[in-house]
Amino acid sequence: INIKKILKYIHASYCNVFDHIVLLCSIFCFVPVGYVQARLAYVEAQGELKVPFKDALPTREEQLSTLRNTEEFDVLVVGGGATGSGCALDAVTRNLKTALVERSDFSSGTSSRSTKLIHGGVRYLQKAIMKLDYEQYMMVKEALHERANLLNIAPHLSAPLPIMLPVYKWWQLPYYWAGIKMYDLVAGSQCLKSSYVLSKSKALELFPMLKKDKLVGAIVYYDGQHNDARMNLAIALTAARHGAAIANYTEVVHLLKKPDPKTGQEKVCGAHCRDIITGQEFDVRARCVINATGPFTDSLRKMDNQKTANICQPSAGVHIVIPGYYSPDNMGLLDPATSDGRVIFFLPWEKMTVAGTTDTPTEVTAHPIPVEDDINFILSEVRNYLSPDVEVRRGDVLAAWSGIRPLVTDPNSKDTQSICRNHIVNISDSGLITIAGGKWTTYRSMAEETLDTAIKAHNLSAGPSRTVGLMLDGGKDWTPTLYIRLVQDYGLENEVAQHLAATYGGRAFEVAKMAQVTGKRWPIVGKRLVSEFPYIESEVQYAVKEYACTVIDVIARRTRLGFLNVQAADEALPRIVEIMGNELQWTEQKKKEELEAAKKYLHLEMGYKARSEQLSKTTEISLTAPEIARYKKRFYKFDKESKGFITTVDVQQVLEKLSIQIDENALHEILNEVDLNKNGQVELDEFLQLMSAVQRGQISDSRLAILMKTVEEGLDLRGPVSVDRSGGGV
């Protein structure tokens, strides 16, 4: 008896009926947990994948050459986000001749600006239960399966994360517990770890920053967390290694069409593309074109048909990054009901803390900018859950970004105003396949459905999807102890080795081999770009091999420095420009343009502008008379001549008395942060404005404020030379 075939038949025949029964019975606890888990965990076995795997990536020039010179592809994917890259990987592993073009960089849009969670959607399950909504239930079930798969195929980039849900009312404890247990139940055997209830004292032990007043207890459940931009890149690189021709900075100028020989109707048969780097234009012909452009879905649909109605309803989600001490190293926090009904996550990520997200209607743009109102809303909600002992300061926001969530309406729906809760796959009259909506976690299943539709609509010769269990780039050779070999074999710092292993997986050795000797006793190799982050210079060189074309690609997606600390990223820019310039043969003019573009990106899209404006907008000096007197005294320890301003020369003279050495360029940068009128000197009013902003929490970690305070304390400790020690003055 072939048990596998019998199970497969039962699964196919009774799936819909049985799932309804499971949903209803689970709600009323009529079904034994083990039985439900066994039923929901069933996954069809994946067939053996017989596709050549390229160890060495083709260069970008080679990829462009393939795009230009291939007579016809089976599939052309437009869009290099998670869904587009997933479509390319699904197509090429079905042995379809595959191409992918992306107007900017891989993951440059929404896919790199997420909450960094791989989740099933607890709140969707709540809606499914409360409204007996089968569609919501199936969406959660699918997402939980995809969560398990993604954690399996990219173990270096993802890991389970416990998330605490604090409870401040007794009646909410059983209510939330039932909902979270249902979440575990639907996940079945793919449940990452069983949720559990904590007493008040245990909750505070695990999350000491939590507000104590009225705290009843807490519930902890598990979801996945990942490095979203690197995950997206891993999907794209895996597709390239399997033979897909992929190219970033390649935009579609217009779609190619030809008449159908049977009907005479115009059909999409490719795209006319332009290499943004060189300006060269060329045609890419394909039997099928897939539109996976996220928020820009309607732009490509209108290239196909100007009269087509818009289906994308973009929503802006803002996230902020604050120092890691705001949260435990391995415990997140969920606020299920904010003051306006939105859900806020508060999560440790890359040794920092990410908080978000908002949900605000917006216009589609390639360069979304985080606004001050959203930043302050998140900070306000964070304050509600943290202890009063923890001062949540606006100045602690190290970076902020906005991502556009591409909510869509189904063009085939009778009610065109209803927003689709999951995703849609649409085929236009000319044969353009559009995949829109959905979420990060379900990118793979969305890609599978899209390719199934494309194969059927365009009569492509291909088998079933083979991406379940397919390891992503770097995941195959990764082990939890891989970083130890990096330390032992190459002499890397422990923190740097852990970072490389968690970013590149088994390919971390390729980055380590490129690392330069430091000239120190330890570490032997691996020069850091900035001292407080584990990113090293050889990663910039390696980024070029991973198709990085701009400095922004490096600080935003090949590393995550721009997302973690805009000031640190700004300081690393000159060295990154120098390294990339050598790798890509940039002229001095090109280097200057890249530096300015990266600074603009940090200033607008990563929240540097909002951060710096906290000082420039402080027009009033809200200090008491004693405070003003104290800060004036501190200022005049540097302004010996009472000029009313200080320069780098003044500061250096004082530092020399304490035998403190600071590089002149670094000192200039420190003063420039406070020099509002940019005249090369810090006036007394500017200094008092700075101290007022520091007092109010609008500015934190001001290097000048901390430096001057430290120097003042050092001078006070030294004090005047006593008469006794001078021999009585004789």
Query: What does residue 232 show for φ and ψ, rounded to 5 degrees?
Result: -60, -45
Give the model's confidence band at 24: pLDDT under 50 very low, under 70 low, under 90 confident, else very high.
very low
Query: What does residue 586 show for φ and ψ, rounded to 5 degrees?
Result: -75, 145
Would you state the pLDDT for residue 719? 56
Give the model's confidence band at 51: pLDDT under 50 very low, under 70 low, under 90 confident, else very high.
very low
Q: Which residue has the higher pLDDT, 250 or 692?
A: 250
Q: At what angle do helices 482-490 and 494-504 cross, to 10 degrees?
A: 130
The mean pLDDT value for 274-284 works out to 97
pLDDT at 39 over 50: no
Q: Which residue has the higher pLDDT, 689 or 97?
A: 97
For residues 709 and 684, state if they share a domain.
yes
Give the model's confidence band at 688: pLDDT under 50 very low, under 70 low, under 90 confident, else very high.
confident
Helix (H) or strand (E) holding 671: helix 664-672
For residues 564 and 532, state if they share a domain.
yes
Instruction: Name which of 165, 162, 166 is nearest 213 in CA terms.
Output: 166
The whole-chain average pLDDT of the chain stands at: 87
The CATH number given to whatever domain includes residue 711 is 1.10.238.10
Query: Strands 73-78 and 281-291: what pairing?
Result: parallel
Residue 389 CA to its chain's centroid (Å): 30
Would you state the pLDDT for residue 15? 44
pLDDT at 729 over 80: no
For residues 491 and 589, state if they share a domain.
yes
The type of residue at 246 is I
Give the model's confidence band at 506: pLDDT under 50 very low, under 70 low, under 90 confident, else very high.
very high
Q: How far apart are CA 147 and CA 127, in angstroms?
A: 20
Helix (H) or strand (E) holding 259: strand 250-259
Q: Which residue has the higher pLDDT, 6 or 274?
A: 274
DSSP three-state, residue 288? strand
For residues 101 and 246, state if they share a domain.
yes
Asked which of 44-53, 76-85, 495-504 is least confident by mean pLDDT, the reply is: 44-53
Which of 549, 583, 613 marks a domain boundary? 613
* 248 part of a folded domain: yes
Q: pLDDT tens-digit profile of 351-407?
A: 999 998 888 888 999 999 999 899 999 999 999 899 988 888 888 899 999 999 988
Would you state the pLDDT for residue 611? 66
Helix (H) or strand (E) holding 360: strand 360-361
The mean pLDDT value for 616-626 works out to 71
DSSP three-state, residue 723? coil
Q: How far apart are CA 252 and CA 260, in angstroms?
A: 22
The mean pLDDT value for 172-177 works out to 91
The type of residue at 635 is F
Residue 74 lies in domain: 51-112+230-310+410-458
* 208 part of a folded domain: yes
Helix (H) or strand (E) holding 33: helix 33-40
Residues contacting residue 314 through CB under 8 Å, at least 6 positions apart: 295, 361, 362, 363, 364, 404, 405, 406, 407
- Two tokens at 322? 């604050």
Residues contacting residue 421 through CB under 8 Å, at least 6 positions apart: 124, 135, 136, 139
Which contacts qualify for 252-255: CB closer than 8 Å, 24 or more apart?
252/78, 252/101, 252/103, 252/300, 252/303, 253/281, 254/303, 255/289, 255/300, 255/303, 255/304, 255/432
The CATH number given to whatever domain includes residue 504 is 1.10.8.870
Assess contact for 381 and 369: CB atoms under 8 A. no
Instruction: Give the bridge partners for 356, in sequence order.
Output: 319, 345
Q: How far apart are CA 469 and CA 682, in angstroms?
A: 59
Would you state the pLDDT for residue 30? 38
Would you state the pLDDT for residue 484? 98
Q: How far apart are CA 34 and CA 648, in angstroms?
A: 70
For residues 252 and 286, state if they share a domain.
yes
- Two tokens at 612? 């710096």
pLDDT at 240 over 90: yes
Q: How far apart are CA 79 and CA 294, in angstroms?
A: 8
Q: How far apart are CA 226 and CA 234, in angstroms?
A: 12
For residues 318 and 402, state if they share a domain.
yes
* 127 part of a folded domain: no
Give the model's confidence band at 45: pLDDT under 50 very low, under 70 low, under 90 confident, else very high.
very low
For residues 203 and 62, state if they share a domain.
no
The CATH number given to whatever domain includes residue 185 is 3.30.9.10
Assess contact for 374 and 381: CB atoms under 8 A. no
Q: What is the DSSP letter of 512?
A: H
Work out the number of other CB atoms within 10 angstroms of the CB of residue 396: 20
Q: pLDDT tens-digit profile of 640-651?
A: 888 888 888 888
* 623 part of a folded domain: yes
For residues 339 and 305, state if they share a domain.
no
Would you state the pLDDT for residue 13? 43
For residues 219 and 284, state if they share a domain.
no
Q: pLDDT tens-digit profile of 78-131?
A: 999 999 999 999 999 999 999 999 999 999 999 999 999 999 888 778 777 777
The mean pLDDT value for 134-161 works out to 93
* 46 part of a folded domain: no
Which of 378, 406, 434 marks a domain boundary? 406
For residues 305 and 445, state if they share a domain.
yes
Would you state the pLDDT for residue 128? 74
The mean pLDDT value for 241-255 works out to 97
* 16 part of a folded domain: no
- Rounded to whole angstroms, what are the CA distances from 644 to 208, 617, 652, 660, 670? 45, 21, 17, 24, 18
Q: How far apart are CA 271 and CA 284, in angstroms?
A: 5
Residue 582 CA to its chain's centroid (Å): 28
Query: What does residue 269 show for φ and ψ, rounded to 5 degrees?
Result: -130, 20
Query: Strands 98-101 and 73-78: what pairing?
Result: parallel
* 203 part of a folded domain: yes
| Count of structural domains within the chain | 4
pLDDT at 139 over 80: yes
Which of 560, 579, 613 marks a domain boundary? 613
pLDDT at 27 over 70: no
For residues 557 and 657, state if they share a domain.
no
Q: Which residue has the higher pLDDT, 621 or 214?
A: 214
Decide: residue 587, CB within 10 A, 0-12 exposed, 13-18 middle, 19+ buried: exposed
Count CA within 13 A, CB hemisphere, residue 496: 27
Instruction: Name which of 317, 319, 321, 318 is nearest 398 in CA terms.
Output: 321
Would you state the pLDDT for residue 352? 96
The CATH number given to whatever domain includes residue 428 is 3.50.50.60
Query: Tokens 């209510």, residue?
Result: 175
Would you state the pLDDT for residue 46? 37
- Rounded to whole angstroms, what are the CA distances from 173 to 169, 202, 301, 343? 7, 15, 48, 18
* 138 part of a folded domain: no
The type of residue at 30 is F
For residues 349 and 453, state if they share a domain.
no
% of the chain at pLDDT higher than 70: 87
